[in-house]
A and B are shown apart, each in its own frame.
Chain A
């Protein structure tokens, strides 16, 4: 069963070189430099890697959600032909045995206890995946089941099992129970007095189910042991340097001996911010002295990464009769599951963004994340803001209804704008066109009614069932179908917050290749599909006037780029590439002045530009081709770029300049609901978003549409179902459903570009905001169609039919 492949075929990431006939710079919809590789099947994703004599790694995972491990017997598994290693916690080589993004509470392999269903317990390396699977099944683990902590009341009960005894993290001192990861209150203004002024008070309790990132490329990678005792790891991740910081200590290696290269990433959406198979593959490779490849299947993938925090949100809003919000109080409980992951930061986001893009002077806010035996939850697109947006937007509709006001008008009346004060006291010092975004989606033309009535009959005469709720399943030919329209708007922070030292590194080189000036950009930015590599090439062209740009594979030979998350990469790594290009440009101009300055006075002009492969004066006079300036010089600059610093939120009041930037999007959803069967067809999801500056307009629209559909999924179908003993019931694409192209509507997008003066090119991180407002807009539309309150997402047919 040996894996045989043509000798010498080793797929590893390659340079991406892209020429452009057009200027191909900032603001143009240039195509992806990795596009051709991706459409021809040549692009090397992390699951495509191959190395001569490589082994396959496999993980044995816990069938229990909470249990003591009494014993592990690997002898039978080890005796299986083709098996080269079986590892348990006893084989961990270093004193450091845990990892974690912020709190190192996650065991590399379960030690004495498992805290969630699917926790890794043992590893196998074998010559074929089937051999490894078979051997894993032969490992005998003796468990003793423990009581399960699965919700707030069971987690904070006096006698609750403490999931992480002896916590030493810096959140531990200010939480009331050791099963609370972090608590962030925010208080501002006088809620009691404001409540007394309110003409209406509206309360509501909302629930958000556990959503999965469901990226298509499974967790995977290849670890190759090196001569120096270190390891080369090719992997799909969101942040190479953060991975390395967590991996190296568990391997007992200095960081420089863990050399990481980003392989092709099949989507991420937050789910690759935490480690999955990285440490495991390295452990097996170091033990066997052979390259080891690990690829999760879809079942394992559901256990292999963190999910979006499920949440319970209790809100109270007050308003005066003329439609002004008086106050807000809320309590947001996020289920962090068995390990901390990004829970503290999710709490910070949920609390600080819990009011939404509205002006409310008096607030009393509390957000907490729990430790439970449920699956660990962490980063997912929208990160804490998604849960809050579902609740506050439901409340906004409810208050508007109570006041007898139009919901859009009510929102506009309370909408924040530039200069507004966040509940944290931070002044919004860039455009915040909330009312305008709402106006734009409201004014878009409505999709025509009854689009299923079609000459293009499918399923029944005069009807195209593909346009109806139920679609191809042929449940309605128009019976019971009611249309509804709903609106929502949201606010998302951009970049890392709360005093985190956020920065990115870029190395840019310029030299002559084949008679042409070429720029090479090297960063550790994880390209996960968002188009960061496209943007880097555009920035290099704009700043350096070249046509041809080479993007080197992201790896740890260059400094950290930070994570591809928090809508931050175009801002922060884009900003670093721009700065590095500017520095290279200065060097080039200095070179040119030295070479040609004496022969042409134009070189003294301080405003020289690099354009079309030439140095020109602001008036357009060509001074010299770039290639002539460079000759055989190679100019290279590596530097770090930092957005403006933030500060932590006060532990008691939540006050603080916590966020770098804010991003806004609004949606109008038009849905058709089969009210008898409780099935939903989203007919259209219109979006308006301010992106500051669209560096690549086509990519921006793609981000908005993609984020919008993930929000649609949360609204009507996506949920990891966890049973009362904390076991996952639907770890498959058969039962965890994400939208197909037949569930997805037309998504007209209106992009605003109001520059943020603090950001490179005025841009605004765009990736997450559309994921926020999409969900509440869809649910508002379903409420409009059915008249039901709908406090929970995803909305299930049972909720719509009272069954």
Chain B
């Protein structure tokens, strides 16, 4: 079957989709967007987390056909999403040209700065979940962060630096000046 959907703001079409395929498979294998990861394919790890019509979901448990006509945001679209949200210069320039891809979103930069990335396989899902948390709850407490990320397994970090990263991203988002000097 054919599936039409919008991914990271761009209309996309996939043909010859098997009816049992997941949205995750379509993103990874048909649309060239393998950022969403395939760690368990049973909704127990969160590494495939994407936003489906704004809501964080496990892409592995969405049948491809269910995504027909929907809006999907993946880790590949997080930077653009953050800059749109912030109404940043990137947005203003969008009508014209954008020579470079949007710079990293605050959560992406914070994950790098806080050392929250090791093997990185859980990272895309965590970023989508954390970004949505900060959008919804601008200054989350630790318990809120833990609850919001409790569906995202990480095997490398022991989660401490992930907590650090989300706190940092929330602080920088609330106080953009704090973001100055971020990155190398």
Residues of A within 8 A of B (CB): 1-6, 9, 11, 18-22, 29-32, 34-36, 38-45, 47-48, 50, 128, 130, 213-218, 264-269, 295, 297-298, 454, 456, 458, 464, 466-467, 472, 528-531, 698-699, 701-702, 705-710, 732-734, 738, 740-742, 744, 746-747
Contacts and interface: CB of A to CB of B under 8 A. Distances in A.
A706 B156 contact: yes
Contact of A530 (B44, B113, B118, B149): B118
A481 B23 CA distance: 43
Contacts of A44: 34
B161 A702 contact: yes
Contacts of B146: 466, 741-742
A702 B118 contact: yes
Contact of A217 (B28, B44, B121, B184): B121
Contacts of A732: 40, 42, 44
Nearest to B76: A41
A30 B184 CA distance: 9
Query: Which 4 pairs of residues, A with B, have the shortest CB-CB distance?
Result: A41-B35, A529-B119, A266-B121, A705-B158
B41 interface: yes
B175 interface: no
B41 A298 contact: yes
B79 A40 contact: yes
Nearest to B119: A529
B41 to A, nearest CB: 5
Nearest to B14: A4
Nearest to B125: A216
Contact of B18 (A9, A18, A36, A128): A128
A458 B143 CA distance: 10
A698 B30 CA distance: 38
B143 A40 contact: no
Nearest to A736: B44
Interface of B: 14-16, 18, 20-21, 28-42, 44-45, 47, 74-76, 78-79, 104, 108-109, 111-113, 115, 117-124, 127, 141, 143, 145-147, 149-163, 184
7 contacts: A5-B29, A35-B117, A42-B76, A128-B18, A130-B20, A709-B159, A747-B158
B93 to A, nearest CB: 19
Contacts of B36: 41
Main secondary structure of the interface of B (DSSP, over half): loop
Given A40-B76, A216-B119, A266 B157 contact: no
B156 A267 contact: yes
A741 B30 contact: no
B37 A45 contact: yes
Contacts of A19: 184
A216 B153 contact: yes
A452 to B, nearest CB: 10
Contact of A266 (B15, B79, B120, B141): B120
B144 to A, nearest CB: 8
B79 to A, nearest CB: 7
B34 A706 contact: no
Contact of B160 (A1, A9, A295, A747): A747
A48 B28 contact: yes
A215 B155 contact: yes
B160 A734 contact: no
A19 B20 CA distance: 45
Nearest to B28: A48
Count chain B CB atoms within 10 A of each CB in A20, A35, A50, A738 and give the residue with the most.
A35
A472 B147 contact: yes
Given A466-B146, A738-B155, A39 B104 contact: yes
B162 A41 contact: no
